[in-house]
Chains A and B, each alone.
Chain A
């Protein structure tokens, strides 16, 4: 079963990558430092915006291949926050037809 751990702590994003997503060049986190660990993201799931009042927050759903991470970038304070991690302990994937 899925193992989701809520963290909700500030983290450091020390490397970014950029790609043409949709109409414009967009930046994505590549390397995160959290509690002495370094996590290299291998894929971006989705990047979307959330308004909290008038504050704009960029939400990134990322994966490093062994766990999914949700990161939020606060455009006011310019802080990165790790919201949760979800590692996968599901068993075998389903064969799709």
Chain B
């Protein structure tokens, strides 16, 4: 088979990547003007073992990074202000960003809560004939006007999504950069391998074994080497195209699993308390399933123990389900089989084998219909008066303990999450 050989893409840079700077921390500083200038860390809980999920630029100057424990962060910056996540606030900024982006092109994709892509490919001629750099500066200004003066974003413009994201990370904060075939080599010359999105330590090690130590060497590597020796899959060819500015990341992902995990708030919870948390998780999953119009046929459950071990079991069922009762019943079936040699520290439930919901199908069995109608009525009440107004008695004690948190990555359930907050 002939080896793939492509030149650098000479296409016009028409993909714009927009990334809000330290999103959650910046939004907190925007909301609370007195926090501006102080190191701020955002966590999902205000406990000392909580993980920092966003740090302001002031905090980053102290060496505070995302993923660090709050107690460690406080050691680095004694005056650190820790704030708990506030999803409705981030949703507001997210909606504003989407509105601004969509006013330029309908070909807008949000990659996560704080970043999105505008594909100007089909709108350059008639709708957006102005230079994209000018549009980029306008977007920055509109963000400041519509949300607040403290808001800033990085913008990258390039021929494909990967290079646009790379361009957006060149000058933080508040940068605007363009990468095209003319300056691609120059930009790569100034980067490390791990500066490239998707290349972390493991991929770096793979590249190193193929004799590739810099992004420029990566760019010059033949497709055959990347496919057969470095990545040993079609991913190698994707990287070959991606680095040259050809688009390979323009695809939509589908939901294959709906799940929820919870780190237990303390060791030695009683069996009833753990089941209460589990029941709450199952209700959340049921809510997500019905929100997306799915039903599931499979359940998987995992438990992590304080020893570091974890137990995991999954099972596919003959009939599909979407009611909270069914999810909890099937989950318990598996959960009761877990070993009980050590204290549990984390529990998780996922539903898989998803298919379009069959809830509009009336069953021949009266008791099935009754359960379905009950679920509909409970959902209607909860929609009217707020989620978990009507809940399992078992879940009630967990309602104030297990809080819905900001998810990384996907924004699939963001609206739902904001309703619950």
Interface residues of A (CB under 8 A from B): 1-2, 21-22, 43-46, 48-54, 59, 61, 63, 66-68, 86, 88, 90-91, 93-94, 96-97
Contact = CB atoms under 8 A, between A and B. Distances in A.
B386 A68 contact: no
For this complex, into which size category does the number of interface residues on chain B fall? 35 or more
Contacts of B286: none
Given A46-B148, A93-B37, A61 B418 contact: no
B31 interface: yes
The main secondary structure of chain A at its interface with chain B is: strand
Contact of A49 (B35, B39, B88): B88
A59 B89 CA distance: 9
Given A22-B146, A90-B81, A97-B61, A48 B89 contact: yes
Nearest to B381: A53
Nearest to B91: A48
Contacts of A21: 146
A55 to B, nearest CB: 8
Contact of B386 (A43, A53, A86, A88): A53
B27 interface: yes
Contact of B88 (A54, A59, A96): A59
A51 B389 contact: no
B311 interface: no
Contacts of A43: 33
Nearest to B59: A94
The main secondary structure of chain B at its interface with chain A is: helix
B146 A94 contact: no
B79 A91 contact: yes
A39 B419 CA distance: 31
Nearest to A43: B33
Interface string B58-81: 100110000000000000000101
Contacts of B31: 45-46, 61
B421 interface: yes
Given A43-B33, A45-B32, A68-B33, A94 B38 contact: yes
A61 B30 CA distance: 9
A94 B61 contact: yes
A52 B39 CA distance: 32
A67 B35 CA distance: 10
A66 B34 CA distance: 8
B188 interface: no
B130 interface: no
B38 A93 contact: yes
